[in-house]
C-alpha cells in the first residue's frame, strides 16, 4: 500500500480523518491552557485538486466534493461545519481547487497560545509545507523522520495536545512500526491524545494493531481509553484501490463517541460508491 497524500487528497479517508481531527481540536479549545498538535508525517500542507496526481485518482470527487453538497441534519451540521469552513477558506470560488492537509487544518484551529510541530522528510513536500507556513511563529516544520519525532517531541511543554500518526504505508512493516512507535510515545506521555490512521487491506493486520494499541492504552492512566473507527465506501476487492480506512483514537474527548454516532450515519450515503457506505465504531479489546 502506498498512501501518498497528493494522490488521495480530499478522498473519503481524508474526510473521515479530518472530521475526527477537527472534533478533537475543537474540544481542546474548550480549556484556556495551551495545547500542541504534532503531525508525524505531515505532507505538503495544501494539495492542488487540478494536479495530475489528484486527477489520476479523482478521489476528491467522491469525497470532499460530495460532502460539500450533502444535506446534513440540524444536529450533525454544526459538528461538521468547522471542518467544512476550513476547506471553504482554501476555495474562495465555488469550485473546489485546493484541499488542506492535516497541518493546515490544525493551524486554522490554533489559538494564540497553541503550537504546531509538523514533521516531513520528503524534500519537495517539506518545501511546500514550509512555504505554506512561512513566517508563522506558531508552527514549526521539522526535517525529522516521523518515527523519531514520536520519541523526540513527547511530552510537549504544553502537556496538552494531540499527536497524529499518518504514515504513507510504503513498507511492509509499517503496521509494526506504527504499533511500536505509539507504544514508545505513550510510555512517555500517557495523558496525551493520539490519532492513528491506517488503511484496511488485511483484517488480521488491522485487528492486531487495534489489540496492541488497546493493550498499551490499558497500561496507562486509569482514564486512558481507546476508540476504533472504520469506514468503508465499497466492498474490498483484491487489486482495487482503497475502499476502507480506519482510525484509532487514544484518550479521545469524552464527547467524541457521541458526536461520531451522529455524524457517521449521515456520511454513509454521500461517501458510498455504488451504494451506501458503512462504518463501525467500537471500543477495541486488548
The answer to whether 67 and 19 have CB atoms below 8 angstroms apart is no
Distance CA 82, CA 250 (A): 22
166 flagged as catalytic: yes
Query: In the block, which residue shows the cell 504499533?
Result: 179
32-63 burial code (b ≥16 CB/10 A, e <16): eebbbbbbbbbbbbbbbbeeeebeebebbebb
SS (H, E, C) the chain: CCCCHHHHCCCHHHHHHHHHHHHHHHHHCCCCCCCEEEECCCCCCEEECCCHHHHHHCHHHHCHHHHHHCCCCCCCHHHHHHHHHHHHHCCCCCCCCEEECHHHHHHCCCCCCCEEEEECCCHHHHHHHHHHCCCCCCEEEECCCHHHHHHHCCCCCCCCEEEEECCCCCCCCHHHHHHHHHHHHHHHCCCCEEEEEEECCCHHHHHHHHHHHHHHHHCCCCCCCEEEEEEECCCCCCCCCCCEEEEEEECCCCCHHHHHHHHHHHCHHHHCCCCCCEEEEECCCC
> Of 166, 173, 176, 240, which is the active-site residue?
166
The answer to whether 160 and 24 have CB atoms below 8 angstroms apart is no
The residues annotated with a catalytic role in the active site are 166
Amino acid at each position: 500500500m502506498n498512501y501518498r497524500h497528493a494522490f488521495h487528497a480530499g478522498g473519503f479517508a481524508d474526510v473521515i480523518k479530518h472530521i475526527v481531527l477537527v472534533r478533537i481540536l475543537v474540544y481542546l479549545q474548550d480549556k484556556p491552557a495551551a495545547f500542541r498538535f504534532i503531525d508525524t508525517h505531515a505532507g505538503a500542507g495544501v494539495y492542488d485538486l487540478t494536479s495530475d496526481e489528484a486527477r489520476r485518482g479523482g478521489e476528491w470527487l467522491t469525497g470532499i466534493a460530495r460532502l460539500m453538497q450533502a444535506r446534513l441534519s440540524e444536529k450533525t451540521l454544526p459538528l461538521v461545519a468547522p471542518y467544512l469552513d476550513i476547506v471553504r477558506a482554501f476555495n474562495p470560488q465555488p469550485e473546489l481547487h485546493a484541499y488542506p492537509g492535516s497541518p493546515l487544518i490544525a493551524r486554522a484551529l490554533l489559538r494564540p497560545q497553541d503550537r504546531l510541530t509538523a514533521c516531513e522528510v520528503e524534500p519537495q513536500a517539506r518545501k511546500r509545507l514550509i512555504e505554506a507556513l512561512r513566517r508563522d511563529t506558531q508552527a514549526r516544520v521539522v526535517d525529522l523522520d516521523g518515527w523519531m519525532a514520536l520519541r523526540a517531541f513527547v511530552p510537549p511543554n504544553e502537556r496538552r495536545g494531540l499527536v497524529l500518526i499518518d504514515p504513507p504505508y510504503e513498507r511492509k512493516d509499517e503496521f509494526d512500526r506504527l504499533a511500536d512507535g505509539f507504544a514508545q510515545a505513550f510510555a512517555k506521555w500517557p495523558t496525551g491524545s493520539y490519532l492513528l490512521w491506517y488503511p484496511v487491506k488485511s483484517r488480521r493486520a488491522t485487528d492486531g494493531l487495534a489489540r496492541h494499541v488497546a493493550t498499551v492504552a490499558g497500561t496507562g492512566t486509569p482514564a486512558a481509553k481507546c476508540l476504533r473507527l472504520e469506514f468503508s465506501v465499497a466492498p474490498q476487492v483484491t487489486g482495487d484501490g482503497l475502499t476502507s480506512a480506519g482510525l484509532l483514537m487514544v484518550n479521545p474527548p469524552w464527547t467524541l463517541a457521541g458526536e461520531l454516532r451522529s455524524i457517521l450515519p449521515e456520511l454513509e450515503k454521500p461517501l458510498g460508491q455504488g451504494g451506501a457506505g458503512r462504518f463501525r465504531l467500537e471500543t477495541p479489546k486488548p
